[in-house]
Amino acid sequence: MVLLRLAVTVLVFALAAPVVAQEAEFDDVPFAPGQWNIGRRLDESQLRYCIDKRDPDWEVAGTIADTIAAALLLEPQRYVVESEIVVEDITKIYAVMLEHCDVYMGFKLIPEGYASWIALTRAYYDAQYVFVASDPALTALADLPPGRPIGATVGTTAHLRLVSYLSALPADRRWPAYPMGTNDQALASLLNGSVDVALVWAPSLWGKQHNDPAYAALHSIAPDPLPPTTLGVGAVVLSDQKFLRNAIDEAIAALAADGTLAGILESFDFPATVAAP
């Protein structure tokens, strides 16, 4: 493993130095109850990171975070976020970061998708949205007869691409696309026969199949005639932590180059590839 000694020096300085300026405008930064009572941490030899059990890749993300910490010669300090809320209010994430972590793992790198008080690291893996079927005869979306229903996780890049494609087709050649609130709902609808195909985040299918045998027979199919939809996944830091973000980016690049990240993904049989530089 490549040990980023220069990055370590920069990172320790960044963690110890006072904040000189803040990138986000004050009004853009959320308010966390009690935030003025959160003191400055004293142990600068740790990389504090958060992983969220609602994310299907939380164990993968934790392993990657531990490896980043080791590359920076820092002790990993894990905080596991647990909540029953499906979609967390962004203020809650801000509060968790203030109190528990320097880095929050598991964010899709959506261009212009985040507030100015958040800074994204480079991606540590790329994953796809996939069309999933239960019928073994279906090998591609093109095999689905017109009129058969698709359940698509609403608001995703892949969902918007599907809707755009369908709107350009004659009415008699379209598939009805029903918006689903979450990946889990889309997969459950496929399982109970409400839809013939589900459009979901590939790691969500992986997570279901690793934790529930009922989903074992589901399989992903080729997106043809649509192109694949791929997004990078990385971590976030507070936007005023430039040195921290740069050090993490250097670590991710080094771990990608020496094959460490590929080995982690392979060890979990995880449906992703190491992100390109």
In the chain, where are the structural domains located?
43-126+231-274, 128-230
Q: Is 181 helix (H, G, I), strand (E, B) or coil?
A: coil
Residue 164 burial by CB count (10 A; 0-12/13-18/19+): exposed, middle or buried? exposed
Residue with tokens 């199919």: 221
Is the pLDDT confidence value at 23 over 80?
no
Task: Find the range with the poorest average confidence among 82-91, 169-178, 240-249.
Answer: 82-91
Query: Measured in Å, how far apart are the chain's first and last C-alpha atoms?
Result: 18
- Predicted local distance difference test score (pLDDT) of residue 240: 87
Any idea which architecture 128-230 has in CATH?
3-Layer(aba) Sandwich (3.40)
Its pTM stands at: 0.83
Can the peptide bond before residue 225 be classed as cis, meaning omega within 30 degrees of 0?
yes
> Parallel, antiparallel, or unpaired: how do β-strands 229-238 and 118-120 relate?
antiparallel
Q: What does the DSSP 8-state code read for residue 175?
A: P
CA distances (Å), origin 255, targets 4, 48, 210, 274: 10, 19, 26, 10
The CATH class given to the 43-126+231-274 domain equals: alpha beta
What are the backbone angles phi and psi of residue 132, rounded to the nearest 5°? -125, 140
Assess contact for 250 and 7: CB atoms under 8 A. yes
Assess contact for 165 and 150: CB atoms under 8 A. no
CA 30, CA 91: separation in Å to the nearest integer? 6
- Per the prediction, the chain carries an average pLDDT of 85
pLDDT tens-digit map of 85-105: 655 666 778 888 888 999 999
Q: Quote the percentage of the chain above a pLDDT of 90.
A: 70
Is the pLDDT confidence value at 66 over 90?
yes
CA 152, CA 126: separation in Å to the nearest integer? 20
Assess contact for 190 and 134: CB atoms under 8 A. yes
- Predicted local distance difference test score (pLDDT) of residue 8: 35
CA atoms within 13 A on the CB side of 167: 6
